[in-house]
Chains A and B, each alone.
Chain A
Amino acid sequence: MPIGDMLLRSVDDSQINTVFPNTFEEYKKWDKEKDELPPEEVYKALFQELAYGDKIQVGRALTRMNYSKSGWKSLIKKTSRAIKKVVKKEEFPDSYKEFLIETNEKWADPTYWYAMGQMINNQTSIYYWNAIDRTFDQELNVVQQDEDRRVYVQTWLKTLKVSIYVTVFCLILGFPVAHLLANLPLRYSNLLMIFVLLPFWTSLLVRTTAWIVMLQQKGVINGVLVWLGILNDDGRIAMVYNETGTLIAMTQILLPFMILPLYSVMRVIPKSHMRAAQNLGAKPAMAFWRVYLPQTIPGMSAGGLLVFVLAIGYFITPELVGGKDGKLIGSWIAYHLKTTLNWGLTAALGAILLGFMLIFYWLYNKIVGIDNIKLG
């Protein structure tokens, strides 16, 4: 249900169409080739719909209109105030077009009218285009967003890159640990297991802050390196407030999600398999590669998928340790959900994220097979 609601919201534009039905109807008759500005009827319909429309419904429509072009909000609000005065005095103008342009010169600016074209249907694809730095021109053709506003494509790529790196690092670091845990006698492995679980139970923010203390330029690691004479005092490495920091912190935080499934799979692989392989003449490396590793694939897949899914939607840790590189797609979803209230774009970003997940799932199913996933 919530997913269906999200998908609906990402294409829904019906609210504004209930506020300005006549204006949009007249708008569709405007021949942009012939006339620079819309005809009188459009201005008149807009005047009336602002004069007699429900204040709150107009208010909600304003929030929507401002996504198509910045400035709609105050333009309509100022105009509404002027219109209310006219209606009160019942001194209706002869030409609504002239009246509105007189009230505010922006009504003579065709770019506002072009932007209106994005909203005149009950369904829209604009949010999806916005989510990949595209927008509509006056003829509703898809064009690139202004150059200095293009942020989403690079954020998508960065999010994917970070998620893939984190997954790979977790695998590289988690595999030996899980192997050790699975093969030690129980009393040692239980002790070590606590070292894996303890950070897992610690608050996310505490762990993130701890990494900042470790990594910052006047922090523990740099301090030790300078003290040892490995680094110059001015040569301190920037390990946090950039992508390196994001990768390090996220890898550490997500590591248990890799270790635990790997561990539970490795624990049940009989030790006799490796011995049998070596008995039959395989060198240890070959036995590991041909006999042991294939049996851990279900664990690697489960861990990999878990870490990747969690990483792709992460945003608190990257925001705290990532500095200028810290805005992943999750940050933008939260931003539009809470600050701009652009829930259409929020939903479109969410739907694309969901799409990514489904593609990865499909690829995974093709390559490894979904039956091959195992948490223990």
Chain B
Amino acid sequence: MSKLLKVFLFASFVFAPFAASAVTVASWGGAYTESQQKAYADTYSDPSSIVFENYNGGLGEVRAQVESGSVTWDLVDVLPGDAITGCDEGLFEDISSEIASMGVPGPDGESIAEDMENNGLEYHSGWDCCVPQIFWTYVVFYDPDAFPGEKPDSMADFFDVEKFPGKRGIHTWATGIVEKAMVADGVEPNAVPTVLEKQTGALDRAFEKLDTIKDHVVFWSSGSKPLELVKSGEVVMAIAYNGRVGAANLAEGENFEYIWEGQVLDQEYLCLTTGAPNRDAALDFMMHASSPTSQALQAKYITYGPMRASGIPIIVEGEPWGPGGVDIMPHMPNTPERLKVSIVSDPQWWSDNGAEINERYAAWMGN
């Protein structure tokens, strides 16, 4: 072994423990983490104490860290289903009393939970361990140039390949698509979660509707793909994460149109890992990141909506809120009139049935 290598190895052993004193936040990377960095970390009292690390979602790594007792992620940015499972399994620490006492209240003194309820959300066990972040949605978008005549504007149009010929881009897992198929089949968007939960055979109905476009589908599995597919003309419409479409419109000069009807709103949470090495500092940062001001600020950098209702007036009053003097509300998924034609995905139902439906969806794709 060369001398230099020895010195290097030695140094990495000696200095590694000191480097770990910052709060580590595992998040999804890309433009999303950048917006968190700007809205949450840069505005924090000690920005350099927050370090973001990329991961690909899911609780696999968190469970491995907690089970082996070597936790390196203090905070994890997760989907609601994972917030629920993580909290139930004790992978995330129950901090309900801390959230109640330390959480930044809204302008009328609303607690974090009340503020979320004002936004139409229902309590689930994820709320005990996690603080809210943003609403993001599965939305259909298209390039208006692809439709010189009439333009599609509903889920029924997305599923109508005779009226609007051309391929559709959809993702390789079932969340979001099942709900959209129900809307195309005539179910009121707001009623979709209830119908899926209560009505026997509702799922069969969704899959029958999916059959009608099956031969006209290009499947994608990573978030940047649907934009490439629509840009290159490979498909005429695609389901995408609305933040990606917003970024293309605002920052890259694209002119994509959204079909807000049948958009599927999903939630995003920041949770405290059990046994986090910098627990107290992480807790303090959580409260900062979930304040109405921080949530509104994030909309400046990515078109995802605040999960706390009191974040929205801050944006509305601050318009033009977007980059370069652009109004941001036209790109926000959770405006009142858009919520009327939206589905708020039910994380409890998905965490009950997700595995089975995804297997069925995969079988449907493969046959």
Contact B219 A241 (CB under 8 A): yes
B102 at interface, CB cutoff 8 A:
no
Question: Residue on A with the closest CB to B357?
Answer: A70
- Minimum CB–CB distance from A20 to chain B (whole Å) comes to 16
Q: A337's contact among B60, B85, B89, by CB below 8 Å, is which?
A: B60
Q: Which of A200-225 contact B (CB under 8 A)?
A: 212, 216-219
Contact B355 A327 (CB under 8 A): no
Contact B232 A339 (CB under 8 A): no
Residues 137-169 of A, flagged 1 when their CB comes within 8 A of B and 0 if not, give 000000000001111001100100000000000
B120 at interface, CB cutoff 8 A:
no
Which residues of B are in contact with A by a Cβ distance under 8 Å?
56-61, 63, 85, 87-90, 125, 172, 207, 217-219, 221-222, 225, 228, 232-234, 348-349, 351-356, 358-360, 362-366
Contact A324 B88 (CB under 8 A): no
- Minimum CB–CB distance from A290 to chain B (whole Å) comes to 45
- Minimum CB–CB distance from A346 to chain B (whole Å) comes to 9
Q: 27 A-B residue contacts at CB 8 Å?
A: A55-B90, A59-B87, A59-B88, A59-B89, A60-B88, A63-B85, A63-B88, A66-B352, A70-B353, A73-B348, A148-B360, A149-B356, A150-B363, A154-B366, A155-B366, A212-B228, A219-B232, A320-B221, A323-B218, A323-B219, A324-B172, A326-B221, A327-B362, A338-B59, A338-B60, A339-B58, A341-B59
Residues 32-52 of A, flagged 1 when their CB comes within 8 A of B and 0 if not, give 000000000000000000000
Contact A319 B63 (CB under 8 A): no
- A241 in contact with B232 given A337-B60, A338-B59 (CB within 8 Å): no
- Minimum CB–CB distance from B174 to chain A (whole Å) comes to 12
Complex alpha-carbon distance, A178 and B356, angstroms: 47
Q: Which residues of A contact B89 (CB under 8 A)?
A: 56, 59-60, 63, 341
Q: Which residues of A contact B351 (CB under 8 A)?
A: 66, 73
Q: Which residues of A contact B61 (CB under 8 A)?
A: 338
Q: Which residues of A contact B217 (CB under 8 A)?
A: 324
- Minimum CB–CB distance from A277 to chain B (whole Å) comes to 48
* Candidate in A63, A72, A219 with the most chain B CB atoms within 10 angstroms: A63
A84 at interface, CB cutoff 8 A:
no
Q: Which residues of B contact A176 (CB under 8 A)?
A: none
- A341 in contact with B125 given A216-B234, A241-B219 (CB within 8 Å): no
Q: A326's contact among B56, B87, B219, B352, by CB below 8 Å, is which?
A: B219
- Minimum CB–CB distance from A133 to chain B (whole Å) comes to 9
- A-B interface pairs (CB < 8 A), number: 108
Q: Which residues of B contact A216 (CB under 8 A)?
A: 232, 234
Q: Which of A316-343 contact B (CB under 8 A)?
A: 319-320, 323-327, 335, 337-342
A96 at interface, CB cutoff 8 A:
no
* Number of interface residues, chain A, beta carbon within 8 A: 41
A77 at interface, CB cutoff 8 A:
yes
Q: Which residues of A contact B57 (CB under 8 A)?
A: 338-339
Complex alpha-carbon distance, A325 and B219, angstroms: 9
* Candidate in B56, B364, B365 with the most chain A CB atoms within 10 angstroms: B365
Contact B352 A148 (CB under 8 A): no
Question: Residue on A with the closest CB to B274?
Answer: A56
Contact A149 B172 (CB under 8 A): no
Q: Which residues of B contact A338 (CB under 8 A)?
A: 56-61
- Minimum CB–CB distance from A170 to chain B (whole Å) comes to 25
- A149 in contact with B352 given A56-B89, A338-B57 (CB within 8 Å): no
Question: Residue on B with the closest CB to A339?
Answer: B58
Nearest 8 CB-CB pairs, A to B? A338-B58, A56-B90, A59-B88, A338-B60, A324-B365, A340-B355, A70-B353, A323-B219
Contact B363 A319 (CB under 8 A): no
Q: Which residues of B contact A319 (CB under 8 A)?
A: 172, 221-222
Question: Residue on B with the closest CB to A73?
Answer: B352
- A60 in contact with B172 given A149-B360, A241-B219, A339-B58 (CB within 8 Å): no
A284 at interface, CB cutoff 8 A:
no
A74 at interface, CB cutoff 8 A:
yes
A114 at interface, CB cutoff 8 A:
no
Complex alpha-carbon distance, A154 and B360, angstroms: 13
Complex alpha-carbon distance, A219 and B228, angstroms: 12
Complex alpha-carbon distance, A335 and B174, angstroms: 13
Complex alpha-carbon distance, A202 and B84, angstroms: 40
Complex alpha-carbon distance, A150 and B356, angstroms: 10
Q: Which residues of B contact A71 (CB under 8 A)?
A: 352-353
Q: Which residues of A contact B90 (CB under 8 A)?
A: 55-56, 59-60
Complex alpha-carbon distance, A59 and B59, angstroms: 14
A282 at interface, CB cutoff 8 A:
no
Complex alpha-carbon distance, A77 and B228, angstroms: 43
A62 at interface, CB cutoff 8 A:
yes
Complex alpha-carbon distance, A154 and B219, angstroms: 19
- A241 in contact with B218 given A62-B88, A218-B233, A341-B85 (CB within 8 Å): yes
Complex alpha-carbon distance, A60 and B92, angstroms: 12
Complex alpha-carbon distance, A71 and B196, angstroms: 13
Complex alpha-carbon distance, A13 and B302, angstroms: 44
Contact A148 B355 (CB under 8 A): no
Excluding A324-B219, A324-B366, A327-B172, 12 further A-B contacts by CB distance (< 8 Å) are A63-B88, A70-B356, A155-B362, A158-B366, A323-B219, A326-B172, A326-B221, A327-B362, A327-B365, A327-B366, A338-B59, A341-B85
